[in-house]
């Protein structure tokens, strides 16, 4: 087989030398014309999205680069609006003796007294002030001691929500004047124990969840609240609609306690942000 003859210049320059860099601006990371040492495009145009101009998106929205618009206020108001609508519907059915109240009473008569008495008593007591308020007080103390200056308004919102529970429940009990399942006494709608459990445990979870290692408080608050309502219904202390109405009322109060910025861990930086004075890769110092 014949070999392709090489040119004289190539043959004479053969050797173990380093590869030579061609002249021109085809290399992406060669020194620019101004000698600044920063990378530039081969055609001399500026990039469409400079590294220093990229900003993280708003907290709580999908995506961080490029920035996305803030979530509309409608979606933030939808959960409390739905809870308020359900609470109004249940209250109307209970007060007017509608079909939901008849179904509610049949269900309670079928399940009242079910389950072991010590366990159902314990579950019902989870909504008592002697149990729920110390949990909320401990979370308030932890939040104020750790980040009192930055989260005092979060703590204040939770305290106001807890104070609103008796301010709303007591007049409604007197107004609806519903008798209990196993007694002739009245004033059972809505359930004060359920509302207390939901706001106290839910408020504690809202205060602690932003800290690292406390994300479990949110599902724990839900379990404790549902356990309280289950114990009240099984023991015959409340009708099921008493519990459901209080869950809707507590949902409204807790929705008003949520911070607008989401549940990003306290003290952490948003994704894509840099501390002041850091030098991005391939760029200059950003202050």
pLDDT 10s digits, 242-283 = 999 999 999 999 998 876 544 445 554 444 444 444 444 444
* Residue pointed to by tokens 């929500």: 161
3-class secondary-structure state, position 85: helix
Q: What is the pLDDT, as a whole number, of residue 20?
A: 59
pLDDT average, residue stretch 1-25: 51
d(CA 266, CA 209): 9
d(CA 248, CA 108): 19
CB-CB contact of 173 with 192 (8 Å): yes
Does residue 226 register a pLDDT over 70?
Answer: yes
d(CA 246, CA 226): 11
Peptide bond into 190 cis (omega under 30): yes
Checking phi first, is residue 177 left (phi over 0); if not, alpha (psi -120 to 50) or beta? left
Does residue 165 register a pLDDT over 90?
Answer: yes
- Higher pLDDT pick, 162 / 183: 162
CB-CB contact of 244 with 72 (8 Å): no
Does residue 91 register a pLDDT over 90?
Answer: yes
Does residue 124 register a pLDDT over 70?
Answer: yes
The closest of 2, 50, 69 to 280, measured between CA atoms, is: 50
pLDDT average, residue stretch 123-144: 95
Task: Say what percent of the chain tops pLDDT 70.
Answer: 64
3-class secondary-structure state, position 287: coil
d(CA 238, CA 91): 15
Q: What is the pLDDT, as a whole number, of residue 177?
A: 92
Angle 24-25-29 (CA atoms, 0-180°, nearest 5)? 130
Task: Give pTM, 2 decimals.
Answer: 0.68
**pLDDT tier for residue 76 given thresholds of 50, 70 and 90:** confident
The closest of 271, 265, 274 to 63, measured between CA atoms, is: 271
């Amino acid at each position: 087989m014949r070999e392709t003859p090489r040119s004289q210049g190539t043959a004479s320059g053969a050797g173990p030398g380093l590869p030579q860099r061609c002249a021109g601006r085809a290399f992406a990371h060669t020194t620019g014309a101004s000698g600044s040492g920063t990378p530039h495009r081969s055609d001399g145009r500026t990039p469409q999205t400079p590294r220093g101009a990229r900003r993280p998106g708003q907290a709580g929205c999908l995506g961080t680069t490029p920035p996305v618009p803030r979530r509309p206020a409608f979606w933030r108001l939808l959960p409390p609006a739905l809870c308020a609508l359900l609470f109004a519907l249940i209250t109307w059915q209970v007060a007017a003796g509608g079909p939901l109240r008849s179904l509610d009473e049949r269900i309670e008569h079928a399940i009242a007294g079910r389950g072991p008495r010590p366990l159902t008593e314990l579950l019902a007591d989870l909504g008592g002030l002697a149990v729920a308020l110390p949990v909320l007080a401990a979370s308030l103390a932890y939040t104020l001691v750790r980040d009192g200056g930055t989260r005092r308004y979060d703590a204040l919102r939770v305290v106001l929500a807890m104070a609103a529970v008796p301010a709303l429940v007591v007049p409604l009990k007197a107004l609806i004047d519903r008798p209990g399942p196993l007694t002739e006494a009245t004033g059972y709608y809505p359930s004060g124990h359920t509302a207390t459990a939901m706001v106290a445990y839910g408020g504690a979870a809202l205060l602690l969840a932003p800290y690292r290692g406390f994300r479990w408080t949110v599902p724990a608050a839900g379990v404790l609240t549902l356990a309280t309502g289950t114990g009240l219904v099984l023991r015959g202390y409340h009708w099921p609609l008493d519990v459901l109405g209080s869950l809707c009322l507590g949902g409204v109060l807790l929705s008003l306690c949520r911070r607008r910025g989401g549940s990003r861990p306290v003290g952490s930086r948003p994704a894509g942000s840099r501390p002041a004075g850091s030098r991005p890769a391939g760029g200059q110092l950003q202050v």
